[in-house]
């Protein structure tokens, strides 16, 4: 929101380029334009609206601003902008998409490429369309449900859209919206929580997209054709074993939306039933991580989400049984071929990561044998190490994390030992070949960032004394940066007060 004042409300370039190499004087002149005018609605006077009548917007490649129209009386505006070329638009208040006054509730373009080089008048006319309709299910009335039955939304190419009010839990499912004319995609926005208690008549995922070219008032009905999918969830072709707690739930996902089914429970036959719209779905078992926190491994349920089907086309109601395939993996964690020492400090964690981006951290206890055990979906994994929060130089462990094992195929229960490695690095920091001088504030520190791994900062160099460091790091290629202390930016010590690279590059 821009309130007209002495200077322009938008930003912009004063000079296209300015080369500064020596001391000098550079006077700069800001050019602006005061633009004012009257806004009309469909060629007539703007009606009053207690909730606001929207705003006129000015947008260029370098800046934008908006000026609100008064809620009553003449719809006049005035704004001062940087001289330049602008796209002029309207931005609705969003307070009433079914506005009886006919004011659109979303944003849209009014005029493009308008040159504003000097003070002047620019009257604008806001166009609107009133679209209404009914949402049906299989050609019939929308049935009553236990909760909100969703709504209809219209999304424009520019990203400015609007949605109807909720259809409530019963009664006719009809809507009315006032929008800026343009090309839209209409879709049904579902209430996913309806599937929490079973398989309702309505879909629990968004969809039913249809293009809508809205250039005049009219009717746009939407018919939903939901399908009901059900089945069993098994483990390696057999019954999903009973567990000490909830065995998770299925998640059906499209590119734009997802729905989670009811819990599979802790025991008994694992079944599901969901109401969806036809489409292609990725199906995942959302794991219950709490099953893996008691020390005993689950009998068959994974400790991390398991992708059961990457892309499943569903076009009609029917049965779809799903199989979970997990493996129990355990092993010892060593450092440079030796057991991990007990320092009393956190010894970090292992992380198992899949190609689809899913990952699972497994903490290493501060005392006792450095072993782990986990049940995960079968597949191919990268195994990495994540350092603890505190770095103990006396420990053999590295102070930062990084990759350890790559592309390990895990398809059967078994042992996978994880061999960590660390290298000691130490040195001295000088300033232009001389010892780092004393300073009235902390002199800064070094930061080591492993390419493809974690990073760590060495202890700061304090106020005075020899500037040395010592760290244990995961082997690999590093970028070394100077971490400056901004408090030294006005000091005469010449120590850099901002960070910058010293060695290495990020590629």
pLDDT at 64: 85
C-alpha distances in angstroms, 56 versus 38, 79, 111, 363? 10, 10, 11, 55
In whole angstroms, what is the distance from residue 256 CA to residue 276 CA? Answer: 14
The tokens for 182 are 């343009």
Residue 16 CA from chain centroid, whole number? 35
pLDDT at 62: 78
Task: Quick: pLDDT tens for 144-189.
Answer: 999 999 999 999 987 788 999 999 999 999 999 999 999 999 999 9
Which ranges of the chain have pLDDT less than 70? Answer: 1-30, 96, 294, 392-393, 504-507
Nearest CA-CA partner of 156 in 178, 181, 139: 181
In whole angstroms, what is the distance from residue 327 CA to residue 411 CA? Answer: 6
Nearest CA-CA partner of 179 in 252, 111, 241, 99: 99
pLDDT at 196: 86
pLDDT at 49: 87
Are 204 and 191 in contact by the 8 Å Cβ rule? The answer is: yes
pLDDT at 16: 55
pLDDT at 10: 60
Ranges of H-type helices in 239-339 = none
Are 288 and 282 in contact by the 8 Å Cβ rule? The answer is: no
pLDDT at 97: 82
pLDDT at 232: 98
In whole angstroms, what is the distance from residue 32 CA to residue 456 CA? Answer: 49
Is pTM beyond 0.75? Reply is yes
Q: In b/e form, how buried is each residue of 121-136, taking b as 16+ CB within 10 angstroms?
A: ebebebbbbbbbbbbb
Cα–Cα–Cα angle for 11, 17, 20, rounded to 5 degrees: 115
In whole angstroms, what is the distance from residue 357 CA to residue 365 CA? Answer: 25
């Amino acid at each position: 929101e821009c309130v007209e004042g002495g200077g322009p409300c938008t930003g912009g370039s004063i000079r296209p380029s300015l080369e500064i190499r020596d001391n000098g004087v550079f006077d700069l002149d800001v050019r602006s334009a005061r633009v004012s005018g009257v806004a009309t609605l469909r060629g007539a006077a703007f009606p009053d609206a207690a909730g606001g009548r929207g705003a006129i917007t000015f947008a260029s490649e370098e800046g934008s601003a908006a000026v609100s129209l008064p809620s009553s009386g003449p719809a006049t505006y005035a704004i001062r902008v940087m001289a330049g070329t602008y796209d002029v638009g309207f931005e609705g208040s969003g307070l009433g998409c079914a506005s009886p006054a006919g004011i659109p509730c979303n944003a849209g373009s009014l005029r493009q490429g308008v040159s504003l080089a000097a003070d002047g008048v620019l009257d604008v006319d806001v166009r609107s369309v009133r679209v209404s309709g009914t949402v049906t299910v299989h050609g019939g009335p929308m049935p009553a449900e236990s909760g909100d039955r969703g709504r209809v939304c219209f999304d424009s190419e520019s990203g400015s859209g609007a949605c109807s009010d909720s259809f409530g839990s019963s009664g006719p499912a009809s809507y009315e919206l006032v929008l800026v004319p343009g090309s839209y995609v209409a879709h049904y926005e579902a209430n996913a929580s309806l599937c929490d208690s079973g398989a309702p008549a309505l879909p629990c995922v968004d969809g039913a997209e249809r293009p809508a070219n809205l250039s005049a008032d009219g009717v746009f009905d939407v018919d939903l054709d939901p399908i009901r999918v059900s089945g069993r969830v098994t483990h390696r072709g057999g019954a999903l074993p009973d567990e000490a707690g909830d065995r998770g739930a299925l998640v059906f996902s499209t590119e734009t939306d997802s729905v989670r089914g009811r819990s599979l429970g802790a025991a008994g036959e694992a079944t599901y039933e969901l109401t969806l719209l036809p489409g292609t779905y990725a199906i995942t078992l959302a794991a219950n991580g709490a099953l893996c926190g008691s020390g005993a491994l689950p009998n068959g349920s994974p400790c991390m989400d398991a992708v059961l089907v990457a892309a499943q086309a569903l076009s009609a109601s029917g049965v779809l049984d799903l199989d979970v395939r997990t493996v129990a993996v355990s092993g010892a964690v060593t450092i440079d071929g030796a057991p991990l020492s007990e320092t009393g400090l956190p010894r970090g964690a292992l992380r198992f990561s899949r190609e689809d981006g899913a990952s699972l951290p497994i903490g290493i206890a501060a005392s006792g044998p450095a072993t782990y055990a986990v049940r995960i979906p079968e597949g191919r994994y990268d195994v990495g190490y994540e350092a603890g929060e505190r770095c103990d130089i006396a420990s053999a462990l590295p102070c930062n994390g990084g990759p350890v094992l790559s592309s390990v195929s895990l398809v059967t229960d078994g042992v996978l030992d994880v061999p960590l490695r660390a290298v000691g690095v130490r040195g001295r920091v000088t300033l232009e070949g001389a010892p780092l001088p004393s300073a009235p504030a902390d002199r800064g520190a070094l930061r080591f960032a492993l390419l493809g791994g974690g990073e760590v900062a060495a202890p700061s160099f304090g106020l005075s004394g020899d500037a040395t460091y010592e760290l244990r790091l995961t082997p690999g290629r590093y970028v070394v940066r100077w971490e400056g202390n901004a408090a030294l930016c006005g000091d005469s010590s010449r120590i850099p007060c901002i960070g910058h690279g010293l060695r290495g590059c990020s590629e």
